[in-house]
Amino acid sequence: MIELPDGFIVRTEDPADSFIIYGDLNPKGYAAKGYRLEIPNLNNAGNGLKNDLFLRLSGWLASQTLDKRIQVRYTRDADYRDILSSYRADTEKLAHDEWSKYIRGKIYDRMQDKISARQLRREYVDVYFARSLAPYLKNGFIPETPREHSVFEREVYSAFANDCSDLKAFLGLPIRPLDIIDLFREYYRAVNKSALDLDV
C-alpha cells in the first residue's frame, strides 16, 4: 500500500510567499509551491496561436533542470464566491442610490443561485513546483532561531520565485502565487471532492 507523505503549510510573513512542506523538516523532505495560470480560452483561436503556445510550453519544459518536480493540475467548478463577495462589498460601499443597490442585489442573488445549481463553469490551471529541502537546511539541521527560520523561508521562496518568473517569461501569461488560504483550499478540495458544497 502506498503511503502518502504528511504535509503542512509554512506561513510566511507575506501570505503569498507561503509554501508546503511534505515529509519532515529535514533533508529528506520536500518543499512545494503552487501558482495559478490564467489560460485564455483557445476554443476559437487560430492554429497559429495554439502552435505558438505549444512551442512556448515545450521550450519551458525543455529548459527545466532535474533538481525539481513539476505538477500541473487542471480543475473546474462553479465557484465564483470570491468574486461575488467582493461584488457585494463594492455594492455596499459604492452604490449610493437605492436603485443601484436593488439591481446589484438581484444580480448577486441570481449568481448565488447559479453557483448553488452548478450552472456556471470556472476552470483553473495550477502549476506546482517541488524541491528537496536538503540545499536549504544548513548541515542538515532544522532552523531553530527566528533568524534561521527567516533565512530558510526566504531561500526556499526565492527558488520558487525564480521558477515562477521563468514560467511567466516563457508562457507570457498572467500568473499569481497561491497564498496560504489558496494552498489550503486546493489541498482540501483535492482530497475532499464534495468540498465545493462546503464554505472552504
Please tell me the predicted confidence (pLDDT) of residue 31. 93
Q: How far apart are the C-alpha atoms of 19 and 121, rounded to whole Å? A: 28
Please tell me the predicted confidence (pLDDT) of residue 69. 92
Please tell me the predicted confidence (pLDDT) of residue 196. 59
| pLDDT, tens only, 38-77 | 877 778 888 988 898 889 888 888 988 888 999 999 887 7
Q: How far is CA 41 from CA 34, 72, 177, in A?
A: 21, 17, 21
DSSP 3-50: -PPPEEEEP-SSGGG-EEEES-SSTT-EEEEEEEE-PPP-TT--HHHH
Please tell me the predicted confidence (pLDDT) of residue 5. 62
Band the pLDDT of 195: cuts 50, 70, 90. low
Cell of 129: 513546483
Average pLDDT, stretch 24-34?
A: 88
Please tell me the predicted confidence (pLDDT) of residue 126. 93
Q: Residue 200: is its pLDDT beyond 70?
A: no
Q: Residue 2: is its pLDDT beyond 80?
A: no
Band the pLDDT of 198: cuts 50, 70, 90. low
Mean pLDDT of the chain: 85
Global pTM reads 0.78
| pLDDT, tens only, 114-164 | 888 888 888 889 999 999 988 888 777 777 888 888 888 899 999 999 999
Q: Are 141 and 149 in contact (CB under 8 A)?
A: no
